[in-house]
Amino acid sequence: MRLLPDLSTRLWSVWQRNFQVFRRLFWVNFVLPMAEPILYLVALGFGLGMFVKEIGGVPYPRFIAPGLVSVAMMYASFFECTFASFVRMYYQRTFDAIIATPVNVEEVVAGEILWGATRSAINATMVFLVVVLFGLAPAWCLPLVAGIGFVCGILFGSMGMIATALVPSIDFFNYPIFLYITPMFLFSGTFFPLSALPRAVQTVSWAILPLTHIVSINRALLIGPLSTNLFWSVAWILVVGAATFLIAIRLMKRRLIK
């Protein structure tokens, strides 16, 4: 068994297929993702912010803005590579149709994950635009946010794809969502600093929750300060991202090739 997957640029034909379908529903796909961060900003940032005022000298809406951008990165690719990919794989048999052509399984899976990563970049960008409109972050960070969204999207997309390779049916996605994604949404420093939590929880959070690292990177980028600790977060994302990507391809191959 080869260690690295057999990938070629053909994987972009899979990406292109998804983009073609996505583009058609422009308003649903591009504009609607902006609604959620507005709700969070108004309800939590400005509502709850009335009482919280500021955290570490940063006004509360400004504090949660990088959190919201990070959450968009997580949700977009994770949901794309679970529910949407599962529908294409299982209900529509799209993957079976594609692997009858010179595109192989590895490229289908990689194309799906890179598409999920693209959605993370798009959604993070849309949320970031909202944040900029509210005057909570500098606009020049946009390309960086999109880039970080893409890289983090590979990680979350791969995690989603691992779930897709393992679930017996679509209902089983509730396990990773309720047991992993939702706790991550709450305990990654998105809405309050991790230092508010017990030491043990903090350790676990840094060890197994990618969102913790992403929030820390985005917060440093949008608010500052940049510190050398960020290097470890970037390294964590890259290493775990690469590992989950390879595992996702291997598990999907096992599921699809019989």
Partner 1 sequence: MNSSAPEPLVVARGLTKRFPDLTAVDHVDFAIQPGEVVGFLGPNGAGKTTTIRMVTCTSPLSDGSLLVFGLDVTSHPREIKAQIGVVPQDNNYDPDLSVIENLITYGRYYRLDPKTTESRARELLEFVQLTDKADARVEELSGGMKRRLIMARGLINQPRMLVLDEPTTGLDPQARRLIWQRIRELKYSGVTVIITTHYMDEAEQVCDRVLVIDAGKVIAQGTPAGLIAQFAGSEVLEVIPENPEQPDLLATLATCGHVQRLGDKFELFAGDCPNTLETIRSRIKLVSFGVRRATLEDVFIRLTGKELRD
Site of interaction with partner 1 (CB under 8 A): 10, 13, 16-17, 20-21, 92-94, 96-104, 257-258
Q: In whole angstroms, how large is the CA radius of gyration of the chain?
A: 19
107 vs 189, beta carbon nearer partner 1:
107
Work out the angle between the directed axes of helices 199-208 and 210-222 (0-180°, nearest 10): 90
53 vs 258, beta carbon nearer partner 1:
258
Shortest approach of partner 1 to residue 160 CB, angstroms? 19
90 vs 192, beta carbon nearer partner 1:
90
d(CA 179, CA 208): 13
Shortest approach of partner 1 to residue 89 CB, angstroms? 11
C-beta separation of 73 from 149 below 8 A: yes
> 176: which 2 tokens?
């990773």
> 251: which 2 tokens?
């598990």
C-beta separation of 74 from 66 below 8 A: no
Shortest approach of partner 1 to residue 23 CB, angstroms? 11
Shortest approach of partner 1 to residue 92 CB, angstroms? 6
94 vs 244, beta carbon nearer partner 1:
94
